Amino acid sequence: MAYVYSHVVIVGIDGAGNFYKKTETPVIDRLFREGAGTDRCLTSLPSISAECWGSMLTGVPPEVHGLTNSIVEREPYVNKDHPTIFKLIRDARSEAVLASFSNWSPINTGIVEGGLDVDFDSGDDAELTERICSYIKDKKPVFLFVQLDNVDGAGHSYGYGSDKYLETLSRADGHLGKIRAAVEEAGIADDTLFIATADHGGLGQSHGGDSDEEKYVFFAAVGKTVPKGSVINLEVKDIPAIVARALGVKGAPNWNARLPEGLFTE
């Protein structure tokens, strides 16, 4: 029998790619030591936010989910053939506390389907993090998705990998640490699968292409059945299969998400 977690938390750092290796990120480093991961998790192409977050939440590539930045900014996602992991969890668990706290609000309004009784919040990374920490301790959500956006903003303004970008990434690592600490303070760390990752990286002051800097992102997952310090192979579109397996929820029959080999010992 596969071990079923009571909680899954995903913290996605927009535009972080695998640049953590170039700056101080003690929290990400600790997640890698305490769990399984890779710095070559392949994202979807084109390496653009809506396309990649869309794949992370639906388990299918952009040509299938059809999401683009301009679409998610103007209309809700309605696609019965390719639901998000939020919809799959809700269909299986009517009472589960689900939440999406995304600085880039189109994730809340244009990727997660409406009408699922998901708690939404949006705001600048630092203030949003404070509210996320209170929320975790207060509600102990079954599934919490977080998107931090300031790193991507710094990449567009100053260049991906620039000093200011890397400083912002270190700050995001601090936010990640606060969220991890809130999970521990809430007393749920033992049965939480905790994931940190990114939607894409960047090159120069943009992204969307297929260079290594744009298409590879870091991925780290910590949980009681995740082997410490092991390296796994996966793509961003595999992440909903991980969430489904962790929570004991059935995946979508026609998605392309696969459970990475070696992520769970049971």
If one asks whether residue 51 binds Zn ion (CB under 5 A), the answer comes out as no
Nearer to Zn ion, 199 or 235 (CB): 199
Q: Is 60 helix (H, G, I), strand (E, B) or coil?
A: coil
Contacting range for Zn ion; rule: CB under 5 A; set: 8-16, 86-94, 115-123, 128-136 = 8-16
Stretch 191-210: interaction string toward Zn ion, x if CB under 5 A: --------x-----------
Scanning the structure block, which residue is given the tokens 């705001």? Answer: 123
CB 122 within 8 A of CB 103: yes
CA distance 147 to 13: 6
Q: Which of residues 77-106 bind Zn ion (CB under 5 A)?
A: none
If one asks whether residue 49 binds Zn ion (CB under 5 A), the answer comes out as yes
If one asks whether residue 214 binds Zn ion (CB under 5 A), the answer comes out as no
DSSP H helical segments within 35-103, as ranges? 49-58, 62-65, 69-74, 85-92
72-96 core/surface letters (b: 16 or more CB in 10 A; e: else): beeeebebeebbbbbbbbbeeeeeb
CB 185 within 8 A of CB 48: no
Contacting range for Zn ion; rule: CB under 5 A; set: 16-24, 41-49, 62-70, 236-244 = 41-49
CB of residue 68 vs Zn ion: minimum separation in angstroms?
12
- Residue 167: CB atoms within 10 A of its CB come to 15
Stretch 137-156: interaction string toward Zn ion, x if CB under 5 A: ---------------x----
Residue nearest to Zn ion (CB): 49
Nearer to Zn ion, 123 or 248 (CB): 123
Q: By CB under 5 A, name the one of 5, 14, 107, 144 that touches Zn ion.
A: 14
Binding site for Zn ion (CB under 5 A): 14, 49, 152, 199
